[in-house]
Structure 1
Amino acid sequence: MSKLKMMLLLLAATILVLSACGKDKDATGDDSNQEYELVKKGNLTFAMSGLYKPFNYEEGGKLMGFDVDIGNAISEKLGLEPNPVTNPFETILQGLIGVKYDAIIGSMAYTDERAKQANFTEPYYYSGGMVFVHKDNTDIQSAEDLKGKKIGVVAQTTYDQPAQELSDNIQYYNSDVVALKDLTIPGRLDAVITSDIVGFESIENGFELKEVGQPLWVEKASVVVRPENDALRAAIDEALAELIEDGTYDEISQKWFNRNLLDVDLEGVEILK
């Protein structure tokens, strides 16, 4: 056998071995997330408004908050690098459908209408839609007293439609915290409808506000993915279950709220649909 023929045979054998190794590698690990349709390979890119403190907000040029920590923990469970990004809440669902990011981990509540456009995981926390007024306000004792009043709300949130049903005088904001801040200024607003958690957090931070009655409803904040990316939805559900089971979820929730946001008595409570 000539030296040239021997070299060609050795080269062919080497290529076959390398090819087989490459296939084994794809099947066993490095590309184990290839079944997910990710906008950036090896990363879980998840969106939020960045204006919903303490769930998600920017401080020192860095995204922080409960949603961010949950997203980071989910990413770790999936073997992906976390890549949190911001998008205005008013168009955040459109951005997901437009493949700007893989998921929304930004306190988006499940509704039947939203579920027509995207897939929702099991809830990663519960919160209530609540009316807040200035602490000195004595005119508004219940939601029924909001007729004709000026209500502050973030557009396209679950609080938008109920506000429209209660009053035709709506002031729109891109941040619940800004709306609540305006509520502390005489003459700006009569009330704000937002999450009970966000409202109570603002009161703890010195906002001169008070809640009106009980929450109007309880909503299920979930992770949202595109309909065609159901493998990712299933994997995130599994990751959430593991985070709850191993205590990571409770640790994150205690860090931000000194309580577990999933530990809620839902008996007899209206769940937002």
Structure 2
Amino acid sequence: MKRLTSILMTCALLCFLVLTGCNSSQGAKETASNQSTGENKAQGTKMKLVEEGTLVFASSGLYKPFNFKKDGQLTGFDVDIGNELAKRMGLKPKAVTNPWETIIQGLKGNKYDAIIGSMSITPERAAQVDFTDPYYISGAQIFVAESNNTIKSKEDLKDKVIGVVQSSTFKVLAEKYTKKIKSFPSDVYALQDLPPGRLDAVITDKMVGINAMNEQHLKIKPVGELLYEDKIGMAVNKGNTELLKQMNKALADMIADGTYEKISMKWFNRNILK
């Protein structure tokens, strides 16, 4: 009798252990399933990157001083901005080049994560890509000789001799103020005629003029407000919302703590977001 009782107790214990094991196994499966679902949800909010842990960003590499090659290395204002953004986002920066005429197609083809290459924000481009907040401002600017104190705004351009690059929209702007317009094959040639007094003013892109001041040490200066504004942004693929969000946050933090201005001063001796 005792032997039978012992056998029955042993069987009951084995059944209990089997049932407990099944429940534990099922619980583990459910836990794993829940964790997997959670990870998938998390992945849905992660940045979509071409290379894990890396921010790959593109420019033409031919737009000095914004992006160009020096001693075989890609450098410039755009590159410094991209490197700093990546660092603040906890990513490794990787600057690459792509021909400008196909740079948006390269982004759509996932050759890189972002375009940081001095791209103007336009409705046509915004239909294809998502833009960050502007990271610098350009546009049509009046430049005069450094010694010129008579022209301080667009109102002072009336009947003055104005230089513009030929076949440009700047000529249309100049025609609003004077008939004395001289056309040049390049903006730089026009700007070079300001210090000797052969021109009263030049209307050109703000950054072209500033670059001439820094690179060629021309004794010229910008005056008045922009005749029209050109906002420059960084582009990411449509729908890559988390990447866009983090780039905007990193940019805002750079501006707030003064890092942006340091980079801008390095290349232009001024804050080009203002």
Asked if 1:113 corresponds to 2:134, the answer is no
Read off the aligned partner of 1:36 and give its amino acid letter. Answer: M
Q: Flag the 1:77–1:163 CA change in 2: closer, same or farther, 3 A.
A: same
Report the secondary structure of 1:113's partner residue: helix
Deviation of the 1:183 alpha carbon: 7.0
Q: Flag the 1:206–1:250 CA change in 2: closer, same or farther, 3 A.
A: closer
1:46 aligns to what? 57
Q: Whole-Å Cα distance in 1 between the matches of residues 103 and 231 of structure 2?
A: 17
- For residues 95-134 of structure 1, the aligned pairs below 5 Å read 95-130=106-141
Q: Whole-Å Cα distance in 2 between the matches of residues 56 and 239 of structure 1?
A: 20
Q: Flag the 1:84–1:193 CA change in 2: closer, same or farther, 3 A.
A: farther
Larger C-alpha radius of gyration, 1 or 2?
2
TM-score of the superposition, structure 1-length normalised?
A: 0.62
Report if aligned partners of 1:110, 1:220 keep a CA contact under 8 Å in 2.
Answer: yes
1:251 aligns to what? 262
Render the CA deviation track for 1:76-113: whole Å, top value 9, x for unaligned: 11111101111122222222122221101111111122
Q: Flag the 1:254–1:210 CA change in 2: closer, same or farther, 3 A.
A: closer
Out of 203, 211, 214, the residue aligned to residue 201 of structure 1 is: 211
Read off the aligned partner of 1:253 and give its amino acid letter. Answer: S
- For residues 166-181 of structure 1, the aligned pairs below 5 Å read none
1:78 aligns to what? 89
Report the secondary structure of 2:86's partner residue: helix
Report if aligned partners of 1:132, 1:209 keep a CA contact under 8 Å in 2.
Answer: no
Report the secondary structure of 1:122's partner residue: coil
TM-score of the superposition, structure 2-length normalised?
A: 0.62
Report if aligned partners of 2:170, 2:204 keep a CA contact under 8 Å in 1.
Answer: no
1:136 aligns to what? none
Q: Whole-Å Cα distance in 2 between the matches of residues 164 and 42 of structure 1?
A: 47
1:260 aligns to what? 271
Q: Whole-Å Cα distance in 1 between the matches of residues 106 and 221 of structure 2?
A: 33
Q: Whole-Å Cα distance in 1 between the matches of residues 246 and 214 of structure 2?
A: 36
2:80 aligns to what? 69
Q: Whole-Å Cα distance in 2 between the matches of residues 193 and 47 of structure 1?
A: 30
Read off the aligned partner of 1:199 and give its amino acid letter. Answer: G
Asked if 1:228 corresponds to 2:239, the answer is yes
Deviation of the 1:222 alpha carbon: 0.9
How much identity, in percent, do the aligned residues show? 44
Report if aligned partners of 2:115, 2:235 keep a CA contact under 8 Å in 1.
Answer: yes
Report if aligned partners of 1:184, 1:207 keep a CA contact under 8 Å in 2.
Answer: no
Contiguous gaps of at least 5 residues in structure 2: 1-20, 145-158, 174-183, 193-201
Q: Flag the 1:238–1:229 CA change in 2: closer, same or farther, 3 A.
A: same
Read off the aligned partner of 2:262 and give its amino acid letter. Answer: E
Contiguous gaps of at least 5 residues in structure 1: 1-8, 134-138, 152-159, 173-178, 186-191, 265-273
Deviation of the 1:250 alpha carbon: 1.6
Render the CA deviation track for 1:120-165: whole Å, top value 9, x for unaligned: 11111111235889xxxxx9945xx86xx844xxxxxxxx8x4798
Read off the aligned partner of 1:116 and give its amino acid letter. Answer: A
Report the secondary structure of 2:57's partner residue: strand
Q: Flag the 1:199–1:91 CA change in 2: closer, same or farther, 3 A.
A: farther
Report if aligned partners of 1:181, 1:207 keep a CA contact under 8 Å in 2.
Answer: no
Q: Flag the 1:205–1:229 CA change in 2: closer, same or farther, 3 A.
A: same
Report if aligned partners of 1:42, 1:80 keep a CA contact under 8 Å in 2.
Answer: yes
Deviation of the 1:51 alpha carbon: 1.4
Q: Flag the 1:253–1:212 CA change in 2: closer, same or farther, 3 A.
A: closer
Report if aligned partners of 1:253, 1:260 keep a CA contact under 8 Å in 2.
Answer: yes
Q: Flag the 1:242–1:181 CA change in 2: closer, same or farther, 3 A.
A: same
Q: Which has the higher helix share?
A: 2
Read off the aligned partner of 1:75 and give its amino acid letter. Answer: A
